[in-house]
A and B are shown apart, each in its own frame.
Chain A
Amino acid sequence: MQAIQETQPGRPADASATRLEVKDLNAYYGKHLAVKGVNMQFEPGAITALIGPSGCGKSTLLRCLNRMHEVIPHAHVEGEVLLDGQNLYEPGVDPTDTRRRIGMVFQRPNPFPTMTIMDNVLAGVRLAGKPPGDATLEEISEKSLRRAALWDEVKDKLHKAGTSLSGGQQQRLCIARALAVDPEVLLMDEPASALDPISTVKIEELMRELRGAYTIIIVTHNMQQAARCSDYTGFMLAGEAATGELVEFDTTSKMFTTPKEKRTEDYITGRFG
């Protein structure tokens, strides 16, 4: 709790300055159009959930936001993703810079097995060369682990292997690793789907604690999770030729009580997907 009130070096304390916006975004795998015509604005400091059945393109859309989509061979993106008005897909924008500002947590916990817990947390900081501000590496790792609600569990074994932790702890370690480079936006791709129920609850609590300090966008196949944790929800659905579209995007309470679209209502009430 106390960690959230600390101001961060290098950027304003509240994330309301950072706006993330998607304009006319199409994502391709080779010739296959996987996501079509997405327009959305993410509320700064809020949690936005992307839901939809498997193969609807929600993970693809998420990976377009920090330019991780193009890492897959033959994958490419059309359209604009604006971070503070700057189009991330403009020529000359460095994708490594983008990924430092927009952190990502994956479906399966992926700590680096040859690194200690502390080295895992600092992996991204060391890439950037100089740590932000004048904080020491020890301070950064402690702060990041506290923010990820993992400090109390690992403070006595910072020099043990990251993979010695349980699955849920590994995922929080990956969150700490993402937070250590001080991003403005945090993308989470089904962060709890590989975890047990208790670890899932911990991740959800953690998301609520991080709310306000970071703009969080989470992909989930779990509707209850979206309803529990998020402020806004986007519903995606794959139409013809397995091309995903954003069907509806609104506040979570509206989406789950009075959706405008019939297809949203059908999905939320469990009629398909």
Chain B
Amino acid sequence: MSQESAEVISATAGASARAARTRISPAGDRIFMFLLYASAWFVLAIVAALFLVLLQRSWPAIQTIGLGVFTQLWDPGGGHFGVLTFIYGTIVTSAIALLIAGPVGIGAALFLAELAPKRLATPVAMLIELLAAVPSVVYGIWGLFVLVPVIRMYIGPALQHTFGFLPLFQGPIYGVGMLAGGLILSIMVVPTVAAISRDVFEAVPNDQREGMLALGSTKWEMMTKAVLPYARSGVVGALVLGLGRALGEAMAVVMVIGNKPQIVASLFQPAYTMASVPANEFSEATGKVYISALIEVGLLLFIVSLLVNISARLLVWNASGRGRR
């Protein structure tokens, strides 16, 4: 089948390619095809191998702990390896990140795609994409030395003053904690959401905008009633990819979240996330089960990220399929 389709492609390429086709030997075609297939399967093999190794290495922990992982107590010395506190920390920090980065990223993308003049939009879009490439440890250092003191002295007290009646904003303000983790993640997720959303908005056909404007809409109505609905599933895809980044981020979060396994309501309290536990404790882990349990945390995170990414791909795929029609 592969050879057939290759022939069809070269046949439709036209007269100019016809001369070239006679020069490429069938053997060359087959070698090239083999290389392409090998590359594609190699990527799949890596994912499969990763999963298998994680499973194999965490097997001792899975056997010893069993369903005990789904408890709250993380006390490696005492043989307790409950990961619920990490799952909680991951969910809370990722939710904060998405709540802040979603509107900001989509807003920035709408501005760049719909409002900004081109000579402003192009450099700003490039800067945003550059932000996505900054190493996470740099964000972590900035978070530790700038964000944490600012939360301790300004943001925290202000939130407590205004929303202190909510359990979320009660208790002592350390600076390090879930709020710091969520905020640093939101800063890291904004470029992802903004860059992908911008691409999605730019893929919206112009006749959709003109159709709405010609009915007497303002520019704002055109964006909210024609552009956003058309781009809806693509934007959801951008958010889920951003969420994937937040779920998996270890380094920056380790540096600002306080690394204390507990489930508490207050965002000012330190916590721990699934990604930061292996990163933080691997070097000091003693004993077969302890190391194995850390790998099991990684396995759980791998599964969660995989599911999030698959759903994002499906959504983006749907969006572009509709754009083509």
A residues near B (Cβ < 8 Å) are 66, 68, 71, 73, 96-97, 99-100, 103-104, 106, 108, 110-115, 123-124, 127-128, 163, 174, 177-178, 181
Contact = CB atoms under 8 A, between A and B. Distances in A.
Contact of A68 (B117, B205, B214, B230): B214
Contact of B216 (A71, A115, A181): A181
B216 to A, nearest CB: 4
Given A112-B229, A113-B230, A114-B230, A177 B207 contact: no
30 contacts: A68-B210, A71-B213, A73-B117, A96-B216, A99-B213, A99-B216, A103-B215, A106-B207, A106-B211, A108-B207, A110-B205, A110-B208, A110-B210, A110-B211, A112-B208, A112-B225, A112-B229, A112-B230, A113-B230, A113-B325, A114-B229, A115-B229, A123-B212, A123-B215, A124-B215, A124-B217, A174-B211, A177-B215, A178-B214, A181-B216
**Which 10 A-B pairs give the minimum distances between C-beta atoms?**
A124-B215, A100-B216, A110-B207, A104-B214, A114-B229, A110-B211, A99-B216, A96-B216, A127-B217, A99-B214
B184 interface: no
Interface in B218-247: 218, 221, 225-226, 229-230, 232
Nearest to A103: B214
B30 interface: no
B213 to A, nearest CB: 6
Contacts of A177: 211, 215
B18 interface: no
Given A113-B230, A114-B229, A163-B325, A68 B213 contact: yes
Nearest to B117: A73
- The listed residue with most B CB atoms (<10 A of its CB), out of A73, A110, A163, A178, is A110
A124 B216 contact: yes
B56 to A, nearest CB: 47
A110 B230 CA distance: 12
Task: Give the interface size bracket for B toward A.
Answer: 20 to 34
B55 to A, nearest CB: 42
B21 interface: no
B229 to A, nearest CB: 4
Contacts, number: 67
B251 to A, nearest CB: 40
Given A68-B214, A96-B218, A110-B205, 10 more contacts: A66-B214, A71-B210, A110-B208, A113-B325, A114-B229, A123-B215, A123-B225, A124-B217, A177-B215, A181-B215
B118 A73 contact: yes
B288 interface: no
Contacts of A108: 207
Contacts of A124: 215-217
Nearest to B218: A96
B322 interface: yes
Contacts of B226: 112
A213 to B, nearest CB: 19
B120 to A, nearest CB: 12
Given A68-B210, A110-B208, A112-B211, A127 B216 contact: yes
Contacts of B232: 114
- The listed residue with most B CB atoms (<10 A of its CB), out of A68, A97, A124, A174, is A124
Interface in B245-268: none
A223 B208 CA distance: 28
Contacts of B118: 73
Contacts of B225: 112, 123, 127
A237 B216 CA distance: 30
Given A112-B226, A114-B230, A106 B217 contact: no
A114 B226 CA distance: 9
Nearest to B209: A71
A174 B232 CA distance: 22
Contacts of B325: 113, 163
A178 B217 CA distance: 12
A104 B118 CA distance: 27
- The listed residue with most A CB atoms (<10 A of its CB), out of B213, B232, B322, is B213
Contacts of A127: 215-217, 221, 225
B207 to A, nearest CB: 4
Given A97-B216, A124-B215, A113 B322 contact: yes
Contacts of A71: 209-210, 213
Interface in B173-231: 205, 207-218, 221, 225-226, 229-230
Nearest to B323: A113
Contacts of B230: 112-114
A100 B205 CA distance: 22
Contacts of B215: 99-100, 103, 123-124, 127, 177-178, 181
- The listed residue with most A CB atoms (<10 A of its CB), out of B209, B217, B229, B232, is B217
Contacts of B208: 110, 112
Nearest to B322: A113
B218 A106 contact: no
Contacts of A99: 213-216
A164 to B, nearest CB: 11
B77 to A, nearest CB: 56
Contacts of B209: 71
A125 to B, nearest CB: 9
Contacts of B117: 73
